[in-house]
Structure 1
């Protein structure tokens, strides 16, 4: 065996080391190349992360009842959302709960969606009393585009098995099928529904006595959001709160801070709200108040006991709004805790103007309510108390607009709305331009990259009537609708048509076309001056628009005699 010299052995060892080093470098380069290739493929296949969508709807919240809009009621969590996004000062809804929810979830007219009237009427096209297959709901469409869909709260859009949230696109839901309920238990408010019907995921569900509605709905929504938080799919969550809808009920800790604040009455509060709205930048400095509705009893005409009770009503209402804000803060904090806050588009809104109705002494509804509730001063706000906001406070809550919920005057259909989150480049901004709740569905579809179909599940669908807000929110445009955009609305034979700065409104019954009044709402927020005689051509034009609109949506007007 030949023995190599020390010098040769060293040379061979060096060659082996060089070869090994070369091989290591070669393998490293291969690995790096593979890694880069994988990253490139992954990047090509990776879809942009779509935002979650959180829709928060208050029930009967007045335009002037949020801190960021100028109210004295403490709403720091809602105010923080406003600081991160846009407050809309001319956001239009329908005048009542059910039509608004139909328009909101469909992006279409309430008749097209099936809710031409508040109740379950089943009187042909537009009056089915439930959502129809002429539209696609937001959750149904988003679900087909990879979104989880959750809801907790008030439904009010039909109660049969094909109309409940579980059949309309909501993956998980806990809802009050009706339009209102006791906030602490399942005691019904009306004789035809003595027990409030609750459903979870399409099946009857029980209410645990003592749970408070706004707290419970918040718990449920958080529970649903947590169910699938690890699968990385986006969600659409709808908090359909029943606060501050009557009966005014809330724990004392929320309303006691407002004790004595409203002792000078609703007329003084209405005046203060006018000024605070101006200071908040929500209305022009030259805005004036409309006269009170005839149902409002002058404060000075009330007895001391009546004033004491009225003041407590407003304290309770403020406490409910305070609690609502607290629960919105809970949802926001939870989104932060799970790392989803920055990727969640949040919309907060009210469903109509402030509520003036009081059914406790109502000719039809009153006997049942009085048999199960009381309106004693000592128990106001408790589970078996039935108290309403009433017309005086509603007039203050709707300032500076005319009247309140149920009417197609501005006070009935202008509500607060705030949007914040992804795609919202405008911060702490106030937008005075015209928009409606039919603009929300197209906005959600754009952020979710979902195309609205011409057919859905075999049914032809009506085109959306609104515009996406994303071009405005992102700063690409400064307007949402062109000046010639037409907004028509009819509910229970109360009607309006809006085109540009001009509006005709009809709130007289029985419905007669000649009872339309003409207003320039850019110059007359309070709708004080009927201009039909000085602007006959404009009046004629809008009447023709009304005829075309009412024919399109098949408005039903009872023939005379009435």
Structure 2
């Protein structure tokens, strides 16, 4: 059957599955969609969110759109990307555990055939679909962006991170980083810097079909500011000396500035630092200098990222496409705390191929990360950081702007998840989500369109009965209304869950399971249902399968 899909905004809003119709030609005024994802950007980094890093282009985007203060991703890169491009829970989408590749449903290490990838459905509906940057959703046959609906693509084939200047690998399993363009292996261009090049490539793709009347879905999947911290001195020198007082002071400063920006409650408090963080005063002067340089480099990478986002927006304006483009900017998880240079597994390879000397920091031959100490400042005021199912690992920044957006310059504190973006794109494109695809039944969307919220027609997307859960290598959470189950202890056992009221305890410090036993039991029952619904297990890799250790929390 081949017919135009109709718009069902109310049904799409509640994530229901509809009969499949192919829409060959989008409506004349169909909106373009520009999805920009920063890699490991902290909640408290951008200027409009209360950060001290110079982000004028993102700040202007915030003035033209809405900042979302309670937007939730997954705690790891690949898991978020699977949920983002499916509109479904991570296990349903095939990425129940980042890096784990098995034959067990939920742990395939690639986008599963239980979902329909966003680019595939949009392309079928008449959209051009482009991606440049990080894929991280499987390097095996059939898992490339070219196999998942992207018309044009230039991506890191499999790894979760890369040298920002060359093909020089950063993981023992991949001594040379592999890239593909439109599914075919290609070389990294000499002298190119990742964020600059991905911006060039995406502009090139959008320009390749300028007058055919079709809208585009363009995914700027940047690898910045993901480690290794590398950027030209033009960008980091302006921050020299800014962080000499240390990460504890920066964390305190950001608590104040976040409150001033309206991103957190005036009553918010900082939780205790992670046990891995060494007090700044315990470091030697030499160690402090290196630590400050790490943050200077990180700030420089964010500065460069903002510059390139400005280039994308300027291009859209120059070509007359800006007014008809919905722009979504987000980070893929909380601030990153991995620091692998002296790690038992990664360290030997990195030390053999890279330097962490002060004089080399920021260059192509340098490998440094800003670690848990600076990540605590990046995730302020939340508990912990990337890798954890705490708010610090999952509450990420998001800005949305476009002609559909009312309330420009406002802050929205509604509880949202990354799964809500796919239904939003479908409603915007007037595309229905089918019950079956290519002869196979597909799971219904788990997210809900936020378009009615953007247009001011609704105040909330999810009511107090909505259940959102996630498990990743034993770290687990489940949210229902203002209540949250949380476990950060492995192996995962029900007795280790705590109960928190996120409305009054943003830093997750008051375990209320003994004070509210009935509510605790209610959420435990929801957890049991959720676990069965999505298929949470602990698979053991079979022969020929394995665990790719990249990005695993030490």
Could you tell me the TM-score, scaled by structure 2's length? 0.92
Q: Aligned partners of 2:26, 2:525: CA distance in 1, in Å?
A: 51
Question: Aligned with 1:487: secondary structure?
Answer: strand
Give the match for residue 146 of structure 1.
126
1:78 maps to which residue?
58
Give the C-alpha shift of residue 557 in structure 1. Answer: 3.7
Count, aligned residues: 515
2:434 aligned partner? 453
SS at match of 1:249: coil
Which structure has the higher relative contact order (CA within 8 Å, separation 6+)? 2
CA distance in 2, matches of 1:149, 1:256: 37
**CA–CA distance in structure 1, aligned partners of residues 538 and 478 of structure 2:** 16
Q: Distance in 1 between the 2:34 and 2:503 partners?
A: 32
1:18 maps to what in 2? none
Of 313, 316, 319, the match for 1:335: 316
Q: Say whether residues 1:158 and 2:138 are aligned partners.
A: yes
Deviations 1:150-175 (A, max 9, x none): 00000010112311000000000000
What does 1:383-462 align with in structure 2 at a 5 Å threshold?
383-462=364-443
RMSD: 1.2
Larger radius of gyration: 1
* 1:441-495 residue CA offsets vs partner (Å, 9 max, x unmatched): 0000011011011111111110001110111110101111111110000111210
Tell me, yes or no, if the aligned pair for 1:511 and 1:557 is still in contact at 8 Å.
no
Matches for 1:497-512 after TM superposition, within 5 Å: 497-512=478-493
d(CA) in 2 for partners of 1:439, 1:511: 27
Aligned to 1:124: 104
Which of 189, 198, 213 is the matching residue for 2:179? 198
> 1:165, 1:202 within 8 Å by CA — same for their partners in 2?
yes
Alignment match, 2:242: 261
Q: CA deviation at 1:48?
A: 4.4
Q: Is the 8 A contact 1:120 1:130 kept in 2?
A: no
Contact 1:355 1:390 (C-alpha < 8 Å) held by counterparts: yes
Gaps of 5+ in 1: 1-44
Range with greater deviation from structure 2 (548-557 or 280-289): 548-557
| CA deviation after TM superposition for structure 1 residue 123, in Å | 3.9
Say yes or no: does 1:540 pair with 2:518. no
2:545 counterpart residue number: none
Compare the two structures and name the one with the higher helix fraction. Answer: 1
How far does residue 558 in structure 1 lie from its aligned partner after superposition? 7.1
Change (3 A) 1:537 1:345: same
1:170-222 Cα offsets, whole Å, 9 max, x none, are 00000002211100000111111111010000000100232100000000000
What secondary structure, in the 3-state scheme, does the structure 1 residue paired with 2:349 have?
helix
3-state SS of paired residue (2:322) = coil
- Please name the residue that 2:31 is paired with: 51
User: Counterparts of 2:118 and 2:59 in 1: how far apart (Å)?
Assistant: 26
Q: Distance in 2 between matches of 1:227 and 1:557?
A: 45
- What's the CA shift for 1:46? 10
Distance in 2, Cα, partners of 1:452 & 1:65: 36
Report whether the alignment pairs 1:223 with 2:197: no
Q: What SS does the corresponding residue of 1:495 show, helix, strand or coil?
A: strand
Does residue 286 (structure 1) correspond to residue 267 (structure 2)? The answer is yes
Report the CA distance shift for 1:241/1:355 in structure 2 as closer, same or farther (over 3 A): same
Match of 2:150 among 147, 151, 170: 170
Work out which of the residue numbers 243, 262, 279 in structure 2 matches 1:298.
279
In 1, are the aligned partners of 2:78 and 2:98 still within 8 Å (CA)? yes
- Cα offset, 1:422, TM superposition: 2.3
**Mapped partners of 1:472, 1:483: distance in 2:** 16
> Structure 1 length as normaliser, TM-score?
0.91
Shift of 1:141: 0.3
4+ long deviations beyond 3 Å: 45-48
State the alpha-carbon separation in 2 of the partners of residues 418 and 488 from structure 1: 23
The match for 2:114 is 134
- Deviations 1:336-380 (Å, cap 9, x if unpaired)? 111000000000000000000101011011111111101000110
Q: CA deviation at 1:232?
A: 1.4
1:373 aligns with 2:345: no
SS in 2 for 1:342: helix
Separation in structure 2 between the aligned mates of residue 46 and residue 411 of structure 1, nearest angstrom: 39
Contact 1:120 1:158 in 2 (8 A): no
In structure 1, the residue matched to 2:95 is 115
1:93-117 Cα distance to aligned partner (Å, 9 max, x none): 0000000000000000110010011
Whole-angstrom distance in 2 between the partners of 1:333 and 1:91: 27
Match of 2:41 in 1: 61
**1:389: how far off?**
1.3
Deviations 1:202-252 (A, max 9, x none): 000100232100000000000000000111110000000000000000000
Indicate the SS of the match to 1:152.
strand
C-alpha separation in 2, matches of 1:433 and 1:291: 26
TM-aligned CA distance change 1:482 to 1:300, over 3 Å: same
Q: CA separation in 1, counterparts of 2:491 and 2:27?
A: 56
- For the 8 Å contact 1:186–1:209, the answer to whether it is kept is no
Would you say the 8 A contact 1:54–1:346 is kept in 2?
yes
Q: Structure 1 residue 425: deviation in Å?
A: 1.4
Q: 1:186 to 1:529 in 2, by over 3 A?
A: same
